[in-house]
Structure 1
């Protein structure tokens, strides 16, 4: 049976794909909300690719950008500008309309500069990549095809959804079954205004234990001991997770101690190619292909 799960990010997409494969589920689509909007909008339309957005911002810096001219050459401006545009689009804002509606002169000047940057960026993006507002508008025009394209829809792994996507979610709920799988998460209050079924469960209350550690390496050592103790009790490896808000600072210690403990660790956020012997070999080969072998001068 055809059905669709709306996931929040790529890691969730991988998890749901593996779970569906193990369960032998056929006819299941896994999409982010922007991919769902693009699919419903039709044609070859796509959400804006972050790399294309960064390139378009970089190309626009050479032009006159009003108030932004004073800071456009500073380090980090390109990233900040791309993030600002993405956040404005996710909020469903039209920078041009916001600039016209601004009362304070300083605010209007700043918004006009951002609107100018937005126009220049959009002019340099591929024609089939649309902003969230445009994707939603086109998707709403084809909302009658939603049941055929997606079947019942489940929204998983979210505590919130950007304002720009909410009208699409409300329209989808009128033509097909839409469920918000909150589980133990908070249900956003605006969802009660829609014909969306919410699936909740009481939060788990696991036993907590705190260990004082002297360094990041010590933290990983204790985490490895904890994981090994669970494995010794017969708990499946797929049920054990070592998590932190930002794992990059611990990756090197995990790699070193995982090899020592003989526990294979899967990095859900990915690993650098140079962390493995194969990756280092590939990098060395690429260096030779790009630069050639070093030539030593031999005197006659």
Structure 2
């Protein structure tokens, strides 16, 4: 039976496409199919015991490389908040552009610093993991095993492939059959294999609507999805709600999801602070960064009870016995208050066990690494440690604010509507009905985005200036990706494009780069009847 299974491989892009393709293969009983991303393809060909370096390990190795010092240009800024994240992004851009830092000369100080960091990171990584550029080179050296380990290869609906992986695809085309299911908008000029174009189908023009603010957009998006489901036009697994950046809408979607009547999947992750584990981390950060007092410690204890932390061994009512009006901002005040309560009630003597914890918390943010294992456990502790890796302890609140954790809902669930980031994510999945929420025009970033219609100007976190990325070095810009995929090449049967809210000045907002010249209907915030969904024949 094993000899009858025909091994073949499908390459997808992004976590959403990965989940959807695996679910479709399982439902269709496609035995012998490997669903991989490009880094996993290189790892599979290089060795069965090698894997791409996870983001957590890469950030930890970069943090250690920066701590070693000895840089020419970034020495003065290596301790600034966000430096680990900035270096990680810079290295990934260099790797994706297929630029070898080993071959760079000493003339460019910044590239010399990046080369030094890359060399230190390479030495810090475990033997089982490898940098993307090293993994690609190792896979090219094992190309003779492609027929047995990879089999016929299909690049499934990717609109763009980074230059790093192009030599690998070209080399595979000489060993096995390689085809690329690509839209006419995809960049395929370099590809030497077989290109498969999807069939042309008729589709209605997308309809545009204008909403008051992100909360209003979320309400209208859920109304739109619910009406499609209730009227039988589309199933939940055929609907996607996407945006260039989901941050302004995530909290609103999370708050309104229980009343939507259908599941919502967040393949890009959910904001950590919207979960109980994130709130435990926020409560600890509040105590350490803003000072110890009774109110902050009560919040921390109430959130951490039942988590097998240091507070579990204390009497159940030790906090209730303390005077509510007392500030208790110093360890000696806590000692007097607990001792006085224990003198009145002998069962509260165990409350004195809180004093070592209070002493550590009173030391402030310098005790961030020491205090976390005492009060946090499981996913909350992992989230705290991850936030400390991406920023110094003094910036822990900013780091937690930008942290995301994996959603509990599977994007492949047939009962759920998918929320995604970027038009490329939606184009890489089989969701024929989609809605693209506009950027937050109320924010300065949203106003700049709409005025320029461009995202090619990227701010370098390692410098004070903002400059344009050079096409030769960074050819894959977010705006270009969205334009290739934002033309909706996979012909959704119905599509809605709500325009963003008005800026604070009240004047009409500019149009997004993906939006056509079509005029959009304005939706009132308090309307009770919303009519047919966008793209379904509404006037």
Unaligned runs of 5+ in 2: 1-5, 281-301, 320-337, 345-539
Name the TM-score, length of structure 1 as normaliser: 0.86
Return the alpha-carbon distance in structure 1 between the equivalents of residues 62 and 276 of structure 2: 37
1:253 corresponds to: 252
Name the TM-score, length of structure 2 as normaliser: 0.50
2:150 corresponds to: 150
**1:5 Cα shift?**
0.6
**1:212 Cα shift?**
1.9
What is the correspondence of 1:4-19 to structure 2 with a 5 Å cutoff? 4-19=9-24
* 1:147-195 Cα distance to aligned partner (Å, 9 max, x none): 111221111232221212111111101111111111354233212xx1x
Larger radius of gyration: 2
**1:285 Cα shift?**
4.3
The answer to whether the Cα contact below 8 Å between 1:184 and 1:203 also exists between their aligned partners in 2 is no
Return the alpha-carbon distance in structure 2 between the equivalents of residues 62 and 276 of structure 1: 32
Return the alpha-carbon distance in structure 2 between the equivalents of residues 2 and 283 of structure 1: 50
What is the correspondence of 1:1-300 to structure 2 with a 5 Å cutoff? 1-63=6-68, 64-99=70-105, 105=107, 108-183=108-183, 185-191=185-191, 194=192, 196-201=193-198, 202=200, 205-234=203-232, 235-271=234-270, 284-285=304-305, 287=307, 289-292=309-312, 293=314, 295-296=318-319, 297=338, 298=341, 299-300=343-344
**1:110 Cα shift?**
2.5
**1:265 Cα shift?**
2.3
**1:286 Cα shift?**
5.5
Return the alpha-carbon distance in structure 2 between the equivalents of residues 75 and 278 of structure 1: 23
- Segment drifting more, 56-65 vs 250-259: 250-259
Return the alpha-carbon distance in structure 2 between the equivalents of residues 186 and 127 of structure 1: 36
Secondary structure of 1:4's match? strand
The 1:25/1:250 distance shift into structure 2, 3 A limit, reads: same
The answer to whether the Cα contact below 8 Å between 2:305 and 2:311 also exists between their aligned partners in 1 is no
Which protein, 1 or 2, shows the higher relative CO under an 8 Å CA cutoff with sep ≥ 6?
2
The answer to whether the Cα contact below 8 Å between 2:236 and 2:262 also exists between their aligned partners in 1 is no
**1:275 Cα shift?**
5.1
The answer to whether the Cα contact below 8 Å between 1:181 and 1:200 also exists between their aligned partners in 2 is yes
The 1:96/1:270 distance shift into structure 2, 3 A limit, reads: closer
Return the alpha-carbon distance in structure 1 between the equivalents of residues 277 and 86 of structure 2: 35
Secondary structure of 1:73's match? coil
Return the alpha-carbon distance in structure 2 between the equivalents of residues 78 and 169 of structure 1: 31
Return the alpha-carbon distance in structure 1 between the equivalents of residues 136 and 207 of structure 2: 46
Return the alpha-carbon distance in structure 1 between the equivalents of residues 87 and 146 of structure 2: 34
* 1:34-68 Cα distance to aligned partner (Å, 9 max, x none): 11111111252222222111111111222222222
Q: CA RMSD in A?
A: 2.7
More helix by share: 1
Return the alpha-carbon distance in structure 2 between the equivalents of residues 46 and 263 of structure 1: 36
**1:13 Cα shift?**
0.8
* 1:242-274 Cα distance to aligned partner (Å, 9 max, x none): 222222321222233333342332333334577
Q: Number of matched residues?
A: 291
